[in-house]
Structure 1
Amino acid sequence: MIFKFFFLVAYFAFSAEASILSPPYPQTSTDQSNVLRYLNGGPFVENTGFGLPLDPPYGCKIEQVQLFMRHGERYPTKSAGKTFETLYQKLKNDTVTSYSGPLAFVKDLEYFVNDPENYEMESTKGVYSGLLEAYRLGAFFRERYESLLDSSSVVPIFAASQQRVVDTARSFGKGLFLDQYNSSCSIQIINEVGKMNGANTLTPITNCLSYNTSLYQHTFGENIYQAEAERLNALSPGFNITPDDIFTMGAYCGYELNVKGKSDMCQALSMDAFQALQYQDDLQKFYQFGPGHNMSAVSGGLLANASAQLLQEDRKVVFSFMHDNDLLTYFTALGLPTDTELSTEEIEFHRSFKTSEFIPQGARLIIEKLNCSDSENVRFIVNDKVYPLPGCSSGPGFTCPLEETIELLTPEHEYAEACGLPDDRPHELTFYWDWEPTFTDN
């Protein structure tokens, strides 16, 4: 009898039909151990979202799509690169007789930027290539929004003027139009150098004369970085890792992933260190370009107001490429980060504001206008996940009714007045309407 009992247990445990060991819905949760969620400058990672499907709600048809996107994965800036090179030289020059522990990889480590000309440019190789990510997104748009594309007319793609942004826009356009790229797509470069463009810009932070980005002066994580440095020095004798090195190592990890697709530096750091690194970056962004800055929503309101105007038109597609900080002000204007302040003393684990959720490399905000039988509604997709607007989700599939969306997108303060723009600079954003087809920059 006992034998029969154990036989039945074994049968059901290993029977493919019973699926006891392979439940249809996984009972594990590993997403938050993904290192991409804790990196400063690392590769794109999807928003965690709310489980809502990307397919349009039942009875709804997409009438218009707007895309606001950060440039894709890139090499570090020249200044960051100098810091990484200094760390690299220090690690290679430390007196180590026997490479062991978390830093054993340093013995064979090679610096990941092999050409100084690549600094600040999009990455072109590896699984996290910035240009490849943009191309694939363009291909996704071609499939998803094919009915909105008119092959007989020229489609503008608007891009801030820094080369990495323009390159991302071009790669997206090539993925979208394939062999018709040169005839169907016109890259519209919006100058971001200086402040003469005033409100007619994709980089409203730069052009806002009253926007002070030096308000945040706090530091965070010294004790955690100190403990991490002591851990590494104990486990890998011969190195002299300092708390400052920990911050640099975290950033090194992210950019090496962008360029090479892998990084042993990521494996060396503990999750405690990554939590502190992420929170330090979140604090800086929150108080410089997020809800913690009094001018952030004003800056993002410029682009939000343009979206509101476009939603009221018959235009089918609108594509815009920019930088992370300007995109973050747009998210702030929408009210998507719901925190009003963040502690500078300890990590607030229950915060909604995380830079990896809103502005990783290649971050994108997709706005879809939907015709739902007897109503028009709008939904927002943040980094590939449907993201209902706080306080406005009464439409089908938790969308926001068009009229309410337009009201929410209309800024409380006029950008030109709040930013103190002089009379000789544009006080309105007009490039979405007064552009002219050009193919010289394709």
Structure 2
Amino acid sequence: MFNLVTSGLALASVASASWSGLPKFGEKQFSQSFNDGYNLLKHMGSFAPYSDRASYGVDRNTPEGCEVDQVHMLMRHGERYPDAIFAEGYVEVLDKMRNSKVKTWKGDLAFFNDWTYYVDDAGLYSQESTTGPYAGLLDAFTRGSEYRLRYGHLWDSETVVPIFSSGYERVIETARYFGQGFFGYNYSTSAAINIIPEAASQGADSLTPSCTADSNYYTCYADRFYATLPPLEVAAKRFNSQNPGLNLTASDVLQLMETAAFELNVRASTPWADAFTLDEWVAYGYIWDLAYYYCFGAGSEYQTAAGQVYANATRVLMQSGPKAGKMFWSFAHDADITPVVAALDIDVPEHKLPNSTIPFPNPYRVADIVPMGGHLTLERMTCNATTVSKAGVYVRAILNEAVVPYSKCQSGPGYSCPLAKFSAIVDKAPKYDEKCETPSSYPQYLSFFWNYNTTNEYNYQSGDIAYQLTDTDV
């Protein structure tokens, strides 16, 4: 007689033997807890170490039946020391604290009795960090080695591959370390660093195109937004009450929170992280969301037009296909990537961000777009037909290692977008030559993706390299 109990046990035994992935008795195969939503790196604006973007749950790996035949990456430099021009503000507030009447620090600032500033040599300002677990050059090298595993099939081990960097020292160093991570011992002969000047006279032939018509660009910073959000004022009052004789302002607090983020780029931890409350960190992060949205992102038609330069060039290369090149590694600043993201219609809120209250969910979080080492990756995929999509060429946008499906274009494998529809999205962005009033004597289109050098002259540091002394990075 067939015994359901014993047969069932036998089948279970066979199944257990054939699939070692079965959970142990009483264990869950999938966790029901997702408690990592709060991470301070997501509230430090664009100054903190790299963190992956909060994912929508779409697999990062190439969809089954598809092959990436061309890839584009636009990456921000890695973790770094602050720029000297901004560090002046940090040092001024720190000196204000040290020169106050407070002799022994108490309360949330008790750590200040022993804390030391993390920049011990003025020559480090603006440079990539080389110390601590979040070191910028380590970040760049690691990204290169990871992308070799992911996209190494696009390189035939013989072709010299160009790497494009804007002409700023820390950006160039990031490009170099990425190249060393990707090419390994072949870097010195197989990569060719192309340095694109950051001068305005480059016009559209630039990784950092400036929009002449945007008179707001060089004066648009966070200090115009913090006064509308009270938590920073609350923090100042708390510190002052805990330490009589101190007279910090909300503006001072903004500086201290910024220096805390930079400290993590150099050291393994920062005591400033615990000096502020959750509400204060959330407010600080949103202040920078506002700044990037209105100054360098989707809230500015001028900056979206500047981003259209790179978006359009990559679109043309994708239309041409692998014969135009298979890998395009580019490096620039955060304020040059947010315009591209806007031009590609990624993270464009339906309504403008309010500056008197913090929206939840927040539709524009700069820590998810351009943290230190932040990068936008566009994949051109040739795919077979599936039950839900036709055979053809599709595009996937990946922002900080999270697939970001287009809200109105996700019909392809892995929620990708057909190349023709992707092209239509790029066409909708404001045009650089129409919006930015670029002088006619300046280049009107990007050409270096087609006209590049394949020499190794700039692969390593060789004396001083002239780069723009005026900071383009906030």
Alignment partner for residue 416 of structure 1, among 433, 438, 460? 433
Per the alignment, residue 449 of structure 2 pairs with: 432
- In the superposition, the TM-score normalised over structure 1's length comes to 0.91
Shift of 1:349: 2.4
1:32 alignment partner, SS class: coil
- Say if 2:51 and 2:400, in contact at 8 Å, map to a contact too: yes
Alignment partner for residue 404 of structure 1, among 421, 424, 433? 421
Alignment partner for residue 252 of structure 2, among 232, 245, 266? 245
Alignment partner for residue 364 of structure 2, among 353, 366, 371? 353
| C-alpha distance in structure 2 between counterparts of 1:436 and 1:401, whole Å | 32
Give the partner amino acid of 2:261.
G
| C-alpha distance in structure 2 between counterparts of 1:54 and 1:406, whole Å | 22
| C-alpha distance in structure 1 between counterparts of 2:394 and 2:134, whole Å | 34
Alignment partner for residue 337 of structure 1, among 326, 331, 347? 347
Residue by residue, what CA displacement relative to the aligned partner does 1:160-201 show, whole Å, maximum 9, x if unpaired?
A: 0011110100010010111111100010000002x2111101
Shift of 1:73: 0.8
Per the alignment, residue 265 of structure 1 pairs with: 272
Per the alignment, residue 134 of structure 1 pairs with: 140
Per the alignment, residue 290 of structure 2 pairs with: 283
- Say if 1:228 and 1:243, in contact at 8 Å, map to a contact too: yes
Give the partner amino acid of 1:18.
G
Alignment partner for residue 393 of structure 1, among 366, 391, 410? 410
Residues 73 and 368 of structure 1, relative CA distance in 2, 3 Å threshold:
same
Q: In the alignment, does 2:389 pair up with 1:381?
A: no
- Say if 2:160 and 2:190, in contact at 8 Å, map to a contact too: yes
Shift of 1:91: 2.9
Give the partner amino acid of 2:339.
T
5 Å-filtered alignment, 1:89-238, equals: 89-193=95-199, 195-204=200-209, 206=210, 208-212=211-215, 213=217, 214=219, 217-221=224-228, 223-236=230-243
Residue by residue, what CA displacement relative to the aligned partner does 1:395-420 show, whole Å, maximum 9, x if unpaired?
A: 01101012111222235443223222
Give the partner amino acid of 1:92.
R
Q: In the alignment, does 2:17 pair up with 1:17?
A: no
| C-alpha distance in structure 1 between counterparts of 2:74 and 2:411, whole Å | 24
Q: In the alignment, does 2:337 pair up with 1:327?
A: yes
Query: Which region of structure 1 is more displaced relative to structure 2, 27-36 or 44-53?
Result: 27-36
Q: In the alignment, does 2:95 pair up with 1:58?
A: no
Give the partner amino acid of 1:309.
V
Shift of 1:338: 2.8
Give the partner amino acid of 1:200.
D
Give the partner amino acid of 2:294.
Y
How many residue pairs align between the two structures? 422
Shift of 1:242: 2.5
Shift of 1:33: 1.9
Query: Which region of structure 1 is more displaced relative to structure 2, 162-171 or 312-321?
Result: 312-321
Which structure 2 segments of 5+ residues have no match?
A: 1-23, 385-390, 460-474
- Say if 1:335 and 1:390, in contact at 8 Å, map to a contact too: no
| C-alpha distance in structure 2 between counterparts of 1:226 and 1:422, whole Å | 44
- Measured on the aligned residues, the alpha-carbon RMSD in Å equals 1.9
| C-alpha distance in structure 2 between counterparts of 1:280 and 1:71, whole Å | 22
Per the alignment, residue 463 of structure 2 pairs with: none
Per the alignment, residue 79 of structure 1 pairs with: 85
Per the alignment, residue 13 of structure 1 pairs with: none
1:114 alignment partner, SS class: coil
- Say if 1:69 and 1:362, in contact at 8 Å, map to a contact too: yes
| C-alpha distance in structure 2 between counterparts of 1:98 and 1:276, whole Å | 29
Residues 203 and 110 of structure 1, relative CA distance in 2, 3 Å threshold:
same
| C-alpha distance in structure 1 between counterparts of 2:60 and 2:85, whole Å | 39
1:436 alignment partner, SS class: coil
Shift of 1:99: 3.7
Residues 222 and 94 of structure 1, relative CA distance in 2, 3 Å threshold:
farther
| C-alpha distance in structure 1 between counterparts of 2:163 and 2:407, whole Å | 29
Q: In the alignment, does 2:35 pair up with 1:30?
A: yes
Query: Which region of structure 1 is more displaced relative to structure 2, 229-238 or 382-391?
Result: 229-238
1:260 alignment partner, SS class: coil
- Say if 1:135 and 1:173, in contact at 8 Å, map to a contact too: yes
Residue by residue, what CA displacement relative to the aligned partner does 1:214-245 show, whole Å, maximum 9, x if unpaired?
A: 47855444522121122233445564432222
- In the superposition, the TM-score normalised over structure 2's length comes to 0.85
- Say if 1:202 and 1:303, in contact at 8 Å, map to a contact too: yes
Residues 199 and 97 of structure 1, relative CA distance in 2, 3 Å threshold:
closer
2:230 alignment partner, SS class: helix
Question: Which of structure 1's runs of 4+ aligned residues deviate more than 6 A?
Answer: none
| C-alpha distance in structure 2 between counterparts of 1:439 and 1:188, whole Å | 9
Residue by residue, what CA displacement relative to the aligned partner does 1:45-97 show, whole Å, maximum 9, x if unpaired?
A: 11102011111112111111110111111110111211121222233333345
| C-alpha distance in structure 1 between counterparts of 2:438 and 2:103, whole Å | 61
- Say if 1:224 and 1:272, in contact at 8 Å, map to a contact too: yes
Query: Which region of structure 1 is more displaced relative to structure 2, 143-152 or 162-171?
Result: 143-152
- Say if 1:304 and 1:410, in contact at 8 Å, map to a contact too: no
Give the partner amino acid of 2:302.
M
- Say if 1:230 and 1:241, in contact at 8 Å, map to a contact too: yes
- Say if 1:304 and 1:411, in contact at 8 Å, map to a contact too: no
2:396 alignment partner, SS class: strand
